[in-house]
Chains A and B, each alone.
Chain A
Amino acid sequence: MLEVEALEAGYGSIKVLHKISLRVERGQSVCLIGANGAGKSTLLRSLAGLLRPSAGRILIEGKEIANASASARLDYGITLVPEGRRVFAPMTVRENLEMGAYRRLWPRRDRGVAADMDMVFDLFPRLRERQSQTAGLLSGGEQQMLAIGRALMSKPRLMLLDEPSMGLAPKVVQEIFATIRRLNAEGMSILLAEQNANMALKSAAWGYVIAEGEIVRTAESASLASDPSVRAAYLGL
């Protein structure tokens, strides 16, 4: 699904990512764990096209997309659920979801948009109840659901999630991760960046550990979770 080779990226003259390589197989759930400032968000933003990489290759189903714009990448089936949710606060829940399908409304409205919105409402019944409410008035958990729902509206095959647990109560985090697992079970490829390594390793099959802009470990989640050094550094055990 996704192959990243020797990717380098940064902001201005500050280089954040150094020769990152990783893979996500079709239908696989992969997590990226690391401390604050390790480069997780920078990596996901480079993959989503919000940041131009300075070197390296990004392949989606074999096609090179490192130079494609953010909106073109949606057409390749990649979507980002950004850190901090970033919903459109003054718009209604329904309008937010419509905006998620922005690329599919023009030049001709995609007939599947209505069905996809129904699908999102089935996945998050609470969003259906609140569809005409302003997004800014939703709780943090509901906003996270909306951000995921909005991303789903672009009909992705690979979903990039940036810190979906951020600022949420543990019970809500459980709910969000259950949804992510469900999406994965239905065939969605997932790349999840998390500081909450415990939750991330539990829900993903494969894990990468990133530190100071480099991939320092990669293994099956279960073996990472039992690795003493990972446990000490990221699981607080």
Chain B
Amino acid sequence: MSVMPLKTTSPALRSPAAAAPAQRLSDHARLLIVWLVLLAVPFVSPNSYVVSLANLMLINVILIASLNLLMGYGGQISLGHAAFYGLGAYVSGVLGVKLGWSPWIGLPVAALVTGLSALIIGIPALRLRGLYLSMATLGWNAILVVMFNRLIDLTGGPNGLLGVKPFAFGTFALDTDARQFPLVWLVSLLVMVAILHLLRSRIGRALRAVATNELGADAVGINSFRTKLLFFVLTAGMAGIAGSLYVHINQYASPETFSVSSSILLVVMVALGGSGTYWGPIVGALIYTAVPQLLLDYEDAELMLFGLGMLLVLILSPSGLTGVPGALIKRFSGRAS
């Protein structure tokens, strides 16, 4: 009998929906299929507005999937994910506007700076178990929003950062929604693949072990502090990448996009989609992007609806919306037999 290699499909990694008997495809294949289908969006969209929403949705996938990695699999609740998103946006944007740096350099620099800032926050906050990370990241987000507003010479203050250049290949600027789409499509795919590989690696299992039982993890020789820190830094870096994409695609950023309430909404989206499931963040990103557009005329209704949705999901399907089909199939087949 041979030992299962670490990188094959592990049953615990499957989302509840994927546990349905009919599904045989690997997560890699399914990921590719979903992204290939998404590739059709610019061709079938009636107007560029829909393409711009698709771009935004894919950026939100990066944001929510990275938060899900930290929160859903790692059990560490960050209330400052939007701060890392914003830091990535402002670092990349300001480097472009003030120093004329290319967005292609701004993007990796944004990832590095956000990762580094997570390292600095994580070292004290992750040593302690419990809610310390949530509190530290909440404070961090509040501080950053103040800085975005007050460092007017650098950030443009409450009026926002203007004059951000788009990504470009020489003179071919990615300045229309349809031109930007392939870039966002590719980066979001790469991030999703990276997350899949991380989850199946030795270190990804260590993260899940730490999340389920820190003492047990320590007993088998996992350094739980370092494991949590590594994932906190990595996921912050991913949010930084999302921020850089955001700022060069909108060619603008303003502080309120990165507020504490955005951070909280991101947490809600992770839970709505299905915390700790691989596909949940895609559902979460879809809701996060579409619902505000559908409710443009009823601004307050949005928060109310998200709150209500959160309550319903927590009561009816604690594993999130991705858990609903699986639960239905189970109930159905249970009744049939």
The total of Cβ contacts below 8 Å across the A-B interface reads 86
Interface stretch of the complex, out of A19-27, A85-93, A179-187, A190-198: A85-93
Check B18 for interface membership: any CB of A closer than 8 A. Answer: no
Distance between Cα atoms of A151 and B213 in the complex (Å): 15
Nearest chain A CB to B47 CB, angstrom units: 45
**B304 interface residue (CB < 8 Å to A):** no
Interface status of A17 (Cβ within 8 A of chain B): no
Q: Please, how many residues of chain B have a CB less than 8 angstroms from a CB on the other chain? A: 24
A86 interface neighbour in B6, B12, B216, Cβ under 8 Å:
B216
Q: Which residue of A lies closest to B222 (CB)?
A: A102
Q: When chains A and B are docked, how far (Å) is the Cα of A71 from the Cα of B223?
A: 7
Bound CA–CA A121/B143 (angstroms): 54
Residue A70 lies at the interface, judged by CB distance under 8 Å to chain B:
yes
Partner-contacting stretch, out of A4-12, A54-62, A111-119, A220-228: A111-119
One of B161-169, B201-209, B233-241, B306-314 contacting the partner: B201-209
> Are A90 and B12 closer than 8 Å at their CB atoms?
yes
Question: Contact at A92–B220, with CB atoms within 8 Å?
Answer: no
Bound Cα distance from A151 to B218, whole angstroms: 12
How far apart sit A196 and B111, CA to CA, in the bound complex (Å)? 55
Complex Cα gap A26–B306 (Å): 62
The verdict on A82 contacting B219 (CB below 8 Å), with A88-B208, A91-B208, A91-B212 known, is yes
Q: Which of B6, B10, B209, B221 contacts A103 (CB 8 A)?
A: B221
Residue contact B218 to A95, C-beta cutoff 8 Å: no
Contact B212 A102 (CB under 8 A): no
The answer on a CB contact under 8 Å between B213 and A71 is: no
* Given known A90-B212, A91-B212, A114-B3, contact A50–B12 (CB-CB < 8 A): no
Instruction: Give the distance in Å from the alpha carbon of A102 to the alpha carbon of B10 in the complex.
Output: 16
Once A98-B6, A114-B1, A117-B3 are accepted as A-B contacts, the answer to whether A91 and B12 lie under 8 Å apart by CB is yes
The interface on chain A, measured as residues whose beta carbon lies within 8 A of the other chain's beta carbons, has a size of 36
CB pair B4 A94 closer than 8 Å: yes
Say whether, besides A94-B4, A98-B6, A70 and B221 are in contact (CB < 8 Å): yes
The residue on B at minimum CB distance from A134 is B12
Asked if A113 and B209 make an inter-chain contact with CB atoms under 8 angstroms apart, the answer reads no
Contacts known (A50-B219, A88-B208, A89-B213); A105 close to B6, Cβ less than 8 A: yes
The answer to whether the Cβ of B215 comes within 8 Å of any Cβ in the partner chain is: yes
Whole-angstrom distance between the Cβ of B159 and the nearest chain A Cβ: 48
A114 touches B2 (CB 8 A): yes
> A65: CB under 8 A from chain B?
no
- B308 CB to nearest chain A CB (Å): 29
B281-315 interface (Cβ within 8 A of A): none
B220 touches A102 (CB 8 A): yes
Question: Complex: how many Å from CA A102 to CA B222?
Answer: 7
Task: Out of B3, B12, B202, B220, name the residue touching A150 (CB < 8 Å).
Answer: B220
Q: Does B334 contact A (CB under 8 A)?
A: no
Q: Of A114, A117, A118, A154, which one neighbours B220 at CB under 8 angstroms?
A: A154
Shortest C-beta distance, B66 to chain A (Å), equals 21
| CB–CB A82/B216 < 8 A | yes
Q: How far, in angstroms, from A134 to B11 measured CA to CA in the complex?
A: 9
A166 on the interface (CB 8 Å rule)? no
Q: List 30 A-B contacts (CB under 8 A).
A: A48-B219, A71-B223, A74-B220, A80-B219, A81-B219, A82-B219, A86-B215, A86-B216, A87-B216, A88-B208, A88-B216, A88-B217, A89-B212, A91-B205, A91-B208, A91-B209, A91-B212, A94-B4, A95-B10, A95-B205, A98-B3, A98-B6, A99-B205, A99-B220, A99-B222, A102-B222, A103-B221, A106-B202, A151-B219, A154-B220
